[in-house]
Amino acid sequence: MASLEQCRILDQIPILYARGTHYEVGLSVGRTFKSMHQEIFSNWDFFNNVLLKNYNSDNGKNVYEHTLRLCEKKFPFYVEELRGMADGSGVPFYKLFLAHLDCLMTPQPDDTKNAQIQADSGCTSILCNDEEMIMAHNEDAFPEHADNVYIVVVDIFDKSGNKFEKFAALCYPGMLPGLAMSFNDKGLVFTINTLVPKSTFEIGTPRFFLTRALLRAANHEEVMQTLLDNGTGIGDGVSINICYVNKENVDQRPTMYNIEVAPPKFNENLESERKSEVSVKCVPAGSIYVHCNKYLHLEVLEINESLTSSINRHEAILTLPVPSTIQRVKTVLSDRSVIDYPVYRRCQTAGKDGAKTVATGIFDIRKMEWSVYVNMPTESEATVVLSMNL
C-alpha cells in the first residue's frame, strides 16, 4: 500500500463561473479547460482503445448515429452544450458525444484490462439523515482523471434572455455536468453511482443526459419524470442519491432518497409506453444509507465483474463507525483497510482495483456548504468550500 505522501496529488481544483446560453457556457468550459480536454482525450486508454474502436465498427456507428439523433430530438440544449465545448476545446464533437456512450459500447472479449477498469469504475455515497444532515461522496473514475476535474458554477439563459438553469457541479473534461455531484438553486442536491446491468438498451437514453437534465429539476415529481424517460427509457444503469433541501429553513429535516434506474423491459408492442425501470428508497429522519455500484433494491441482473469492488466496499463500511457525523463520514470515505478493493481508491499500488478516487465531496445541509477534498479527507483540509445558496 502506498504511503499517504505517495498518493497525494496537487491540492487544487479549478472553478469556472459562467453565464450564457447552453452553447456559450459549453464554449466557455472548452476554452477555459482546453489543455485538460486535449490531454484527457489523447491519453484516456479506455476511450481510445474501447470507445473509438467500437465507433469504427458498423454496429458502433449505428449506435452512435441513433443515439445522437435521439439526444438531438429529446435534449437539443445539451447537445448544443457539447458542441460549444467541442468548439472551445478543439476536441472534435464526435469524440465528446462518444464519451457519453461508455456503457453502450463494451470492450472486446480479449481486452480484460479495460473490461476490468470499466467494471471497477464507480463511487461511494453516504446519506446521513441523523445527528448531522450530510450527503457525502467519493468520486471514483478512470486513473487518467486524477488531477483532471473541475467545478462549474453557471447561470444558463435561453436565447431570449430568460433564466433556464442555475447550478454547481463537479465535472470531467468533455462530459456534461451532473454525472458526479451537484446542486442547483432550487434546493436539489445529488450524487451519482454508476450501475452496470447485464442487459443494456442500445436505443435508450445515455444516463449522462438524464443526470444532466436533473440539474433543472425543482422537486421529486420532476426528478421522477426525468428518470422514467417516458417513450424511450435509460440505455444503461444509474443510482441517484438525492436530497431536497428547504432553503427557507435549513434546520428542517431534508427529504433524502436513493433512486435506482435500469433499462426498460423491452416489448415491441408497447414501444410508445417504454420507460426506465425505477425503484425509490426513502432515507427517513434518524437513518443512514450507503450506496456503491450495485443494485440494492431494484431487481436487475448485473455484470458479475462490476460487483466485486462494491461488495468489498460495502462489507468494509459495515465494520467502521456508523457515519453519523462529518468526522465519521470522513473516516469511512478514507478507509483503506481492504487492500484489493478499498473505499478510498487513490493510494493502491497493489490489489486489483483499477479505479481511482479523484475527489471527495461533503454537503453539510445545515451549514449549506459543499466541501470538496482533492486528497484524503481525514488527512487534508477541504480544497474548495462553496456556499449552496446560489
CATH number for 280: 3.60.60.10
What local confidence, expressed as pLDDT, does residue 267 receive? 62
Q: Please give the residue range of the domain that contains residue 82.
A: 15-387
How many whole angstroms separate alpha carbon 65 and alpha carbon 240?
27
What local confidence, expressed as pLDDT, does residue 159 receive? 85
Q: How far is Cα of residue 310 from the mean position of the Cα atoms in its chain? A: 16
What local confidence, expressed as pLDDT, does residue 223 receive? 98
Instruction: With respect to residue 9, please indicate whether it lies within any of the assigned structural domains.
Output: no
Instruction: With respect to residue 3, please indicate whether it lies within any of the assigned structural domains.
Output: no
State the cell numbers at 95. 469524440
Nearest Cα neighbor of 352 from 316, 309, 319 is: 309
Instruction: With respect to residue 43, please indicate whether it lies within any of the assigned structural domains.
Output: yes
Instruction: With respect to residue 175, please indicate whether it lies within any of the assigned structural domains.
Output: yes
Instruction: With respect to residue 5, please indicate whether it lies within any of the assigned structural domains.
Output: no
- pTM > 0.85: yes
Instruction: With respect to residue 4, please indicate whether it lies within any of the assigned structural domains.
Output: no
What local confidence, expressed as pLDDT, does residue 119 receive? 64
Instruction: With respect to residue 2, please indicate whether it lies within any of the assigned structural domains.
Output: no
Question: Following DSSP, what letter does each residue of 284-350 receive, concatenated?
Answer: -TTEEEEE-SS-SSS---B-GGGHHHHHHHHHHHHTSPP--SHHHHHHHHT---SSSS-SS-SS-SS
What local confidence, expressed as pLDDT, does residue 108 receive? 62
How many whole angstroms separate alpha carbon 72 and alpha carbon 254?
35
- Max CA separation in the chain (angstroms): 59
What local confidence, expressed as pLDDT, does residue 305 receive? 75
> For the CA atoms of 200, 206, 211, 214, what is the dihedral angle to 10 degrees?
-110
Digits of tens for pLDDT over the chain (390 positions)?
555 666 778 899 999 999 999 999 999 999 999 999 999 999 999 999 899 999 999 989 999 999 999 999 999 999 999 999 999 999 999 999 999 998 777 666 566 666 666 666 789 999 999 989 999 999 999 989 989 999 999 999 988 889 899 999 999 999 999 999 999 999 999 999 999 998 888 889 999 999 999 999 999 999 999 999 999 999 999 999 999 998 777 778 888 999 999 999 866 546 667 899 999 999 999 999 999 999 999 999 998 877 889 999 999 999 999 999 999 999 999 999 998 899 999 876 666 777 899 999 999 999 999 999 999 999 999 999 999 999
Q: How far is Cα of residue 32 from the mean position of the Cα atoms in its chain? A: 21
Instruction: Confirm if 88 and 30 have CB atoms less than 8 A apart.
Output: yes
What local confidence, expressed as pLDDT, does residue 195 receive? 94
Instruction: Confirm if 234 and 276 have CB atoms less than 8 A apart.
Output: yes
CA separation (Å) from 372 to 13, 19, 336, 389? 9, 23, 19, 16
State the cell numbers at 314. 460495502
Number of domains in the chain: 1
How many whole angstroms separate alpha carbon 262 and alpha carbon 253?
29
Instruction: With respect to residue 159, please indicate whether it lies within any of the assigned structural domains.
Output: yes
Instruction: Confirm if 317 and 329 have CB atoms less than 8 A apart.
Output: no
Nearest Cα neighbor of 50 from 96, 92, 113 is: 113
Sheet with strand 163-171: strands edge to edge:
15-20, 150-157, 163-171, 181-184, 188-195, 237-244, 255-262, 277-283
What local confidence, expressed as pLDDT, does residue 348 receive? 64
The three-state secondary structure class of 46 is helix
Residues near 308 by beta carbon (within 8 Å), at least 6 away in sequence: 119, 341, 352
State the cell numbers at 376. 484524503
